[in-house]
Amino acid sequence: MEFVIAIVGSIVAKAVEYTISPIKNHVKYLSNHQKYVETLKNRANRLKDARDGVQHSVDAAKRNGEEIEGDVDKWLSAVDKKILEQVEKVMQDEEKAKKKCFIGLCPNFRTRYKLSLKAEEEAKAVAELLEHGKFERVSYRAAPQGIVVAPVKGYEEFESRTSILNGIMEALKDDSVSVVGVHGMGGIGKTTLVKEIARKVKDKLFDSVVIATVTQAIDIEKIQNQIADSLGLKFEEQSMVGKAFRLRERLKKEERILVVLDDIWGKVDIEEVGIPLGDEHKGCKLLLTSRELNVLSNGMDAQKNFPIGFLNEKEAWDLFKKKAGDCDESCDLKPIAMEVAKKCAGLPIAIATVAGALRNKRLFEWKNALRELERPSSSNFTGIAAAYSAIELSFNYLESEEVKLTFLLCSVIGHNGLVEDLVRYTLGLGLFDGVHTLEEARNKVLTVVANLKASALLLDSYNDKSFDIHDVVWDAAIAIALKDYRMLVLRDHAPKEWSDKEKMKTWSVISLRCPQIIANLPKEMECSGLSFFHVAYDGAVKIPLNFFKQTEGLKALDLVGMQFPSLPESIIHLADLRMLCLKECAVDDITILGELKSLQVLNLSL
C-alpha cells in the first residue's frame, strides 16, 4: 500500500511541477515587465557607447589610410540595425503597454506579456553583440599595390626615347642580365623613362615592381624602408643587417620582381640593402639610373647600360609647343618662340620650365626672355648653362617675391621635403602678409607649392603633404639664392664664402649640411643680418656658448637630428626668434626656452 501511495505522490508532484512552473514563468513576464525593459535599456546604452568607441577607432584608422577589418564593418552594421530597428521598436511598445484596458481600470496584461518576452529576447541579443564587439584591432595596413598602371606624367613617346625604352625592355627579358643601367645628365628624363618602363612591365614581365630613390647622400636604411613600404613589409628588426635579411627573404617570395633604384650617385652595396640577385634569385632584376656611366658600370656592375641624350630639334619643338600653348599660331611670335626653344638645348627640364613660364605671355615678354637666355648668368653650370638660364628665367617669372622666397626655401629642404617644414619657416619669417595662424600659413604654402609644381620648378613626392625638386633645379635654386638673395646653402663642401668674415655679415639665410663645417663651428657667428639659420646633422654637436650672441635679428632657427646636453646660453639674445624647430634632436635641458618671449612656433617632435 505504501508503495502505491509513493507512486501516486510522485505522479502528483510531477503534475504540479509541469502545471505550476509554466504558470510561474508566465506570471513573471507580467509582474516584472519593467525589469526586462530596464535591462534592455541599460544594455542598449552600453552597446551605443561601445559602437561609438569602435567607430572612433575606425575613423582614425581611415584617416591613416588603413583598411577596416571585415568583421568590424559587419558588427557596426548589425549594431546599427539592432539599435535603430529592434530595440527602438521595443521602446515604442513600452508606451503601448502603459495604456490600460476596461475603461482604464485594468492593466493591459496581454501587451505587457508580449513586451517582456520581446525585451528579454532583445537584451540577450544585445549582450551577444557587446561580447562580439571586443576587438583586438579594427584595421590593418593594406599592402601597397606597387606601381599604378597609369600613364606616367611627363612621358612623351618620342622616337629617340622609344628606341631606348625598347632596348631596356629587351635587356630585362634576357635571362643572362640581372642589372640594367640608364645614364644621362640631370634633367634629361631618366626618372620619367624608367617609371614608364615600370608601368609597362608590371603584370607582364614582372609580378611586382618597386622603386626607391637614392640621391647623393646614400642611406641604406632609407632605401630598405622605401622598398619595404612598396611591398607592405613592416620591419621589426632595428639593425640594418636585420632589415636586410628580412627584406631579402621577402623579395624571394616574389617569383618575378623588378627593383628600380633611381638617382644613384655612388656605389650602393646591394648586399647591405638586402636585394637578392643572380643565382640567389633569378626572378629579381635591378634597373638603375645615374648621371655617371662609371657609377653604373664600375660601381654597380651593370651588364647593360643605355645612354639618354638630348631631344632632337623636332622633338624639342614639339614638346615646347605642348608646354607653351599656341605659340606657333602667331606669325610674329613663332620665330621668337622657336629661338627660345633652341636655347633650351634639347634638355626636357629646361624646355618644360621655360615653356611653362612663357605660356600665354605677350610678344615683348617672349623677346625679353630670348635676350635673357642668350646671356647665361652662372659659371656654376658649365656645360648646362642653358638649363641654368632656363630655370632662372622660370624663377624670374614667378608671380611675387613671397613665392620666389618660398621656392628658395625649398633649396634649404631639398629632396622629398615636407610642406609642414615650409609652413613653419614662412610663419617664423613672417613671409606672407596677413597670415598669422598655422592653418592660414598651411593653406597659403599648399597653394604656393601647387603653383610651383605647375611651373615644373617643384615635383610631386610620396603624397600631397610633401614635394620634391629636380637635381638641376635644386642646384640652380642654390645658385640664385647665393647670387641674388644673400642665402648660403652648404650641402657637402665649405666654399670660400664661409670663411669670408665680411660676407658672413651680409647673409640673411644660412643652411648647413656639411659635416666639415658643423664639426668646427666658430665661437661666435658674426651675422647681424641673419634671419634664418638651419643645421641638419645626425650626431653629437657642440655649439659654442656665445655662438648666437651676434645674431640678434634671427627669426627662425631649425636644428635637425642633433644631440647636445643643452642649448647654448647665447640663445637668450634671440629676442626676435619666432620659430624654433628641434626635430629629432636629443636635448637634455630646454628650460632656457622660457626666455624666448617672441617665440610662436616650437617643434620638439622626434
Of the CA atoms within 13 Å of residue 370, those in its CB half-sphere come to 17
Rounded Cα distance between 71 and 39, Å, is 27
Cell 525593459 sits on residue: 37
Range with lowest mean pLDDT among 95-104, 191-200, 439-448, 488-497: 95-104
What are the φ/ψ torsions at residue 344 (nearest 5 degrees)?
A: -80, -10
Q: What local confidence, expressed as pLDDT, does residue 117 receive?
A: 67
Q: What local confidence, expressed as pLDDT, does residue 144 receive?
A: 55
pTM of the model: 0.57
Q: How confident is the model at residue 16 (pLDDT cuts 50, 70, 90)?
A: very low
Span 544-557, pLDDT tens digits: 888 888 888 999 99
What is the third-level CATH fold of 159-307? Answer: Rossmann fold (3.40.50)
Q: What local confidence, expressed as pLDDT, does residue 545 receive?
A: 87
Q: How confident is the model at residue 380 (pLDDT cuts 50, 70, 90)?
A: very low
Span 125-181, pLDDT tens digits: 778 877 888 888 878 766 555 544 456 677 788 888 999 999 999 999 999 999 999
Q: How confident is the model at residue 524 (pLDDT cuts 50, 70, 90)?
A: confident
Contact 317, 338 (CB under 8 A): yes
Q: Could you tell me what percent of the chain has a pLDDT over 90?
A: 31
Q: How high does pLDDT run on average in the chain?
A: 82
Span 191-224, pLDDT tens digits: 999 999 999 998 889 999 999 999 877 899 999 9
Rounded Cα distance between 284 and 208, Å, is 10
163 versus 86: the higher-pLDDT residue is: 163
DSSP type of residue 533? E
Contact 457, 393 (CB under 8 A): no
What are the φ/ψ torsions at residue 516 (nearest 5 degrees)?
A: -60, -40
Rounded Cα distance between 587 and 566, Å, is 6
Domain ranges of the chain: 23-140, 159-307, 313-396, 401-603
28 versus 79: the higher-pLDDT residue is: 79
C-alpha separations of 287 from 158, 273, 281, 296 in Å:
21, 15, 15, 10
561 versus 101: the higher-pLDDT residue is: 561
303 versus 59: the higher-pLDDT residue is: 303
Q: What local confidence, expressed as pLDDT, does residue 170 receive?
A: 95
Residue environment code for 299-321, b if the CB has 16+ CB neighbours within 10 A, otherwise e: bbebbbbbebebbeeebbbbbbb
Cell 602667331 sits on residue: 330
What are the φ/ψ torsions at residue 327 (nearest 5 degrees)?
A: -70, -15
Q: What local confidence, expressed as pLDDT, does residue 10 receive?
A: 58
C-alpha separations of 352 from 8, 188, 256, 356, 363 in Å:
107, 11, 36, 6, 19
C-alpha separations of 225 from 259, 400, 537 in Å:
13, 38, 20
77 versus 422: the higher-pLDDT residue is: 422
Range with lowest mean pLDDT among 248-257, 333-342, 585-594: 585-594
Of the CA atoms within 13 Å of residue 488, those in its CB half-sphere come to 24
Mean pLDDT of 388-408: 87
Rounded Cα distance between 489 and 413, Å, is 10
Q: What local confidence, expressed as pLDDT, does residue 320 receive?
A: 92
Q: What local confidence, expressed as pLDDT, does residue 475 receive?
A: 82
Question: Which CATH superfamily is 401-603 part of?
Answer: Ribonuclease Inhibitor (3.80.10.10)
What are the φ/ψ torsions at residue 538 (nearest 5 degrees)?
A: -95, 95
Span 29-53, pLDDT tens digits: 445 556 667 777 787 788 788 888 8
Span 277-298, pLDDT tens digits: 999 999 999 999 998 888 898 8
Q: What local confidence, expressed as pLDDT, does residue 431 receive?
A: 93
Q: Do domains 159-307 and 401-603 have the same CATH topology?
A: no
Of the CA atoms within 13 Å of residue 552, those in its CB half-sphere come to 2
Q: Is 471 helix (H, G, I), strand (E, B) or coil?
A: helix
Rounded Cα distance between 195 and 61, Å, is 30
Find, among 313, 300, 315, 318, the residue nearest to 259 by Cα: 300
Mean pLDDT of 355-374: 85
504 versus 366: the higher-pLDDT residue is: 366
Cell 603624397 sits on residue: 463
Q: How confident is the model at residue 274 (pLDDT cuts 50, 70, 90)?
A: very high
